[in-house]
């Protein structure tokens, strides 16, 4: 049996809702709005935190240009605290494996970008983290990008 064996009459095909907006973004926004008012509060909270971070990044740049690195460092620290609170509210965490032993568990969430020969590290260890692994609760959202380091192979 094939789909052609069961013809669907034209009048049974679903029709576009004539009251629906013309663009897809409006449809998505409307559907998300129906999901509950909590969506809007969360979105406002996220956008507010990102806007605050953007403000402080710009101000830190101005402070660096003015030759006041202590003030810039304080602003960057504040951005980190604000973003940590925002992410924690959604169960998001970052895992930096730098210095840890290179194991199968580490390998499962990693994109290896290189290998460094370093005699001060017993083989193999994560020598450098370019990007940490990002988790939401226990689910991996983004792999870590690392360089592995160890002594020369013999």
Average of per-residue pLDDT across 53-74:
85
The pLDDT tens digits for 21-48 are 556 666 666 666 666 666 677 777 787 7
User: What is the SS3 assignment for 33?
Assistant: helix
Query: Does the residue 42 lie in any domain?
Result: yes
Sheet containing 144-150: order of strands: 110-117, 144-150, 125-131
**What total number of domains does the chain contain?**
1
79: containing domain: 20-93
Query: Does the residue 138 lie in any domain?
Result: no
Distance between terminal CA atoms of the chain?
A: 64
The pLDDT tens digits for 129-143 are 998 998 989 899 889
Would you say 33 and 40 are in contact if contact means Cβ atoms under 8 Å apart? yes
> 62 pLDDT band (50/70/90 cuts)?
confident
Query: Does the residue 107 lie in any domain?
Result: no
Per-residue tokens: 10:
């034209």
Predicted structure pTM score: 0.58
């Amino acid at each position: 049996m094939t789909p052609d064996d069961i013809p669907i009459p034209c009048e049974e095909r679903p029709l576009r809702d004539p009251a629906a907006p013309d663009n897809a973004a409006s449809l998505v926004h409307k559907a998300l709005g129906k999901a509950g008012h909590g969506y809007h509060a969360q979105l406002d909270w996220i956008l507010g935190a990102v806007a605050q971070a953007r403000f402080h990044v710009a101000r830190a740049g101005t402070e660096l240009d003015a030759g006041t690195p202590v003030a810039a460092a304080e602003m960057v620290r504040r951005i980190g605290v604000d973003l940590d609170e925002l992410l924690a509210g959604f169960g998001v965490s970052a895992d930096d494996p730098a210095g840890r032993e290179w194991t199968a568990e580490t390998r499962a969430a990693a994109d290896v970008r290189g290998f460094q020969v370093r005699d001060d590290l017993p083989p193999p260890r994560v020598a450098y983290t370019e990007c940490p692994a990002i988790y939401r609760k226990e689910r991996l959202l983004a792999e870590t990008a690392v360089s592995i380091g160890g002594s020369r192979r013999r």
